[in-house]
Structure 1
Amino acid sequence: MVDLPGFKTFGAASMSDSHLAEVTGVSSNPGQLRGRLYLPPSLQRGAPLVVALHGCTQTAAGYDRGTGWSTLAEREGFALLLPEQARGNNPNGCFNWFTPGDIARCGGEAESIAAMVEAVVAEHSLDRARVFVTGLSAGGAMTAVMLATYPELFAGGAIIGGLPYGRASGVPEALAAMRAPSGNATELAQAVRSASAGYRGSWPSVSVWHGAADHTVAVANMDATTAQWLGVHGLDPAACSTEHGAGWTHRTWRGADGRIAVEERRIAGMGHGVPIDPSGSDRLGVAGPFMLDVALSSTAEIARSWGLVAAAEVRREPAEAPVRRRLVPEVMPANDTAAPPASAATSGVGQVIEDALRAAGLMR
């Protein structure tokens, strides 16, 4: 296996994962994924379950450490499932969000994740009505896959730096989708409806997070993902509420029951990664590659939106307020110094395409 050039892998074998158990008793695993599980000592019958999907070059343990999900699970008493990609499936450890056999309701990686959820819920008597899924990048795209293909399993999902469902069926389409997703709102919504085998129940709530300066997965994917789920929920794109905070813009759309059905959080000045705030009041996560300290904990805010954490007062400022500049570079070279700007690090269209393919986990 060859690591991505310029990437310092987050979640290396030396990182302790002794708090994570192996998932057992899974009925089917056609995608050949590994399942890691964290059950806090305070876990009660009927507790919620969060499923967290790592990004390319990451491991389950690394993603957990960077985001702080198991720390929050211990505080609040919910279970945490961390599916993990096998390098034999994808040499860069990416979930195969662009492979038709892995993103359908039956077969491949989507079925493996669904089977893990079923096994964990049944074995530990968890609340089937409070199962949630989130992920970054390829994990964000796979989050969209799970919400589309198994909507009955999830009450809500959070897509971070990801893509809408069903926009790629192979390498060329994946590369194109990362730069500019295709399809209008009607087509995007129909892709989800077609994936779920005629599902007629309530759709999961969806939260979409993206850095406004993301050059790996274009921010247009945030707009497309939001449009996709507004269409699925049958909501008017213009009927939203907007608030601004310290470097972020938050838009929400409510369903007929008054609850938030779709929301998006755009982070000013942030590149490709998970927004974290290790020194904030929630004390969650560790800064590193793709774990970006922007003084906003997506882990805590997502958990609050799902009702897993009590609501907290959030400081709000005018839209032009600058984001706190503690961003860790998206790409970390071996000596831990900042990488040169993309314009200086690339040479020609061919190199740009090759770098994008590697960033997506589509080539070595």
Structure 2
Amino acid sequence: MGRPGLSWVGSAARSFVVRWFAGRRLGRSRFALLVAVIAALAFPLGDIAAAAAGTFVSYTYNGLGGTRPYSVYTPANYTTSQQVPLIVMLHGCGGSPNDFANTTQMNVLADTNQFIVVYPYETSTYGGCWKWPDPAHQSRGSGEPAIIAGITQTVIADTTHWNVDQSRVYVAGFSAGAGMSVVMAATYPDLYAAMGEAAGVEYKALSNGAIAPTLPSGGPDPVLQGQAAYNAMGQYARVMPVIAFQGSQDTTVPPVNGDQVVKQWMETDRLASGGTYNASFSAPSGTVTGRAPVTNGQAYTVRSWNDPSSNEVEEYWTVTGMGHAWSGGSTTGQYADPLGPSASQNMYAFFMAHVLGPPPPPQPLQVTSVAVGNLVATSAVITWQTNNTANSRVDFGTSITYDSFASDPALVTNHSITLTGLTANTTYHYQVTSVDGHAQTATSIDATFGTTAANFSLQLSAAADRSASSALQGQTVAGTIYVFTSPASGVTRVRFWLDNPQMSGTPRQTEGAAPWDFAGTAANGTANPTNTTTIPNGSHTITAAVDKSAGGTDVLTSSFTISNAGPPPPPPSGFSLQVSAAADRSASSALQGRTVAGTIYVFVSPASGVTRVRFWL
């Protein structure tokens, strides 16, 4: 077969382009673009390649995130009087700017349509593969995302060489570069208006740092990864338009991964839109099938999903029979399939239909469906919903002044906060508050709930057999006491804390079998004593977490006071303890610091001025 070019985009191709674009929502500017794209398609590939007469210059970036080389293609006949789009192209493993430019023919397209192309270079010095699976390179402001964004911003800022339309900056990639393009769209949605990927994976499909990852069954649930990408967007969250290409015979990045890319971005965009965009992968807004009009051209299917205003948000090309390749690329490029529809031309067309503008105002935040559940003696679960993703806080207390709170910083729409350490048989006031990513706050009205009566209690006894016990709460104790929870039945475990009602850290005592004693249980079944003289006098608490056989945990806290008589005062000044080897106390000396043996005689001196002496050893 001769060298296939783009000569197939004559009348047949023109018919396809017009038919395909008719399915999209075109304004005046899009119609002008359509004419330009058709004109570009009318030339054979070889002729276009020869027409790539712009300048291709290499630079080095040093800045936030690290250092990388990169190349910039400036189209022929360009002057800075023209404000033009910019497309960032991320090569696959082992690629280079020169090879990727040849593979994709993006520079040729830039000559025809006048836009800047930037090729960050992941050289062999840095492993040759973009590090999208590494957690250190999956967030804004660090690692390779910061480097790629920094390169993009450096080119934008260089107004001596270029005049970039900052509302038309895009990122696209192949294979590992596609994986990193997905990361860039999630971490810098305020920089890139839209994203294109070929043979890529969903956001955080892996987070194990694998150099050559394989995902034969895809990554995690794309709905969960959609939430993760939305979280990565942070305060810059917005709907991110995405165009994806996938070969049906790709064994390096199997087709399930292409599906997951689209599904992940559907969920991310649903969250970013506040739910107004809610696409279903199985129900596209439009489907087009065809075959690249070249000898032995590949068949393809294009599905698109629109928002309620008929603006296209996701576009997914699946190319039948294509392996791990850039569809429609050069015959001499690495990982190119010239028999497929042109990924470069269709990505460019998709990009030009999406402009980065100021984000639409968010929906006013609303709190709804506030409810109390799992209500027991010492805990309750408060649930509610918000229309925007927002954090969670519950203020609560026995009065409307709310002297306690519990919170969760995660941005969600379905909220659940568990309140613990409550007092049994008590009425509580509570109020929920959420703050969304736009700093909007919504608060519920005051409401109340009542805890149930306690099923268990902390008991105090003066006897090891736990007889004649009474509630520990409010007691004043001294000497030896025995503390335990009652009743003993219906319990699987009890953990005890002294003066730690928050139950932080390791419990003072953990009991795994009845009876449930604060100081543990002796071998004969009696309770071990608690010597209160080892605990300072004053107010104290014992907290017990009682794990119930039927499920759940009751938390009991009782306050009590220890009041033990203090030790005798020291002898008045002038008295000392003396030691002698003789019973008549002769030749005595101070006992302090002496080493003694055999029989000794110890006494207080002087003997006068004293009414009583008590000794302790």
TM-score norm. by structure 1 comes to 0.72
Bigger drift between 251-260 and 158-167 goes to: 251-260
Rg larger for: 2
2:170 alignment partner in structure 1: 132
**Residues 1:186 and 1:174: Cα distance change in structure 2 (over 3 Å):** farther
The one-letter code of the counterpart of 1:96 is: K
Counterpart in the other structure of 2:341: 296
Cα displacement (A) at 1:101: 1.2
Residues 48 and 127, structure 1, Cα contact 8 Å, conserved in 2: yes
Question: Shift of residue 306 of structure 1?
Answer: 1.8
Instruction: Please name the residue that 2:234 is paired with.
Output: 197
- The reply to whether residue 214 of structure 1 matches residue 250 of structure 2 is yes
Taking the TM superposition and a 5 Å limit, the aligned residue runs for 1:1-364 are 19-23=55-59, 28-40=63-75, 41-43=77-79, 44-90=81-127, 93-123=128-158, 124-171=162-209, 175=213, 178-200=215-237, 202-234=238-270, 235-237=278-280, 238-240=282-284, 241-246=286-291, 247-276=299-328, 285-307=330-352
What whole-Å deviation, never above 9, does each CA across 1:131-151 have from its counterpart, x for those lacking one?
111110000101101001101
The secondary structure found in structure 1 opposite 2:234 is coil
Cα offsets for 1:297-329 (capped at 9, x unmatched): 111111112228xxxxxxxxxxxxxxxxxxxxx
Secondary structure of 1:301's counterpart equals helix
* Letter in structure 1 aligned against 2:195: G
Aligned partner letter, 1:83: P
Distance 1:276 1:31 in 2: 34
The 3-state SS of whatever aligns with 1:56 is coil
Measured in 1, the distance between the counterparts of 2:290 and 2:235 equals 39
Question: Which is worse superposed, 81-90 or 236-245?
Answer: 236-245
More helix per residue: 1
Deviations 1:205-251 (A, max 9, x none): 10111100000011100111010011112222144111101100000
1:126-171 alpha-carbon deviations (Å, 9 max, x no partner): 1111011111000010110100110111111111001111121225
Give the letter aligned to residue 248 of structure 1.
Answer: Y
Counterpart position of 2:514: none
Query: Following the alignment from structure 1 to structure 2, what is the Cα–Cα distance between the partners of residues 226 and 89?
Result: 29
Amino acid at match of 1:254: N
In 2, Cα distance between equivalents of 1:182 and 1:77: 38
Shift of 1:29: 4.5
State the secondary structure of the residue aligned to 1:231: helix
Higher RCO, 1 or 2 (CA under 8 Å, sep at least 6)? 1
Same amino acid, percent of matched pairs? 26
SS of aligned partner of 1:58: coil
SS at match of 2:165: coil
CA distance in 2, matches of 1:140, 1:55: 8
Give the strand-richer structure, 1 or 2: 2
In structure 1, how many angstroms separate the alpha carbons of the residues matched to 2:268 and 2:336? 30
Q: Distance in 1 between matches of 2:59 and 2:84?
A: 17
C-alpha contact 1:156 1:204 (8 A) present in aligned 2: yes
Distance 1:267 1:295, change over 3 A: closer
Report if the CA contact (8 A) 1:31-1:102 is conserved.
no
Say if 1:150 and 1:196, in contact at 8 Å, map to a contact too: yes
Q: Return the alpha-carbon distance in structure 2 between the equivalents of residues 174 and 224 of structure 1.
A: 19
Give 1:56's aligned amino acid. Answer: C
Change beyond 3 A, Cα 1:173–1:236 = farther
SS in 2 for 1:188: helix
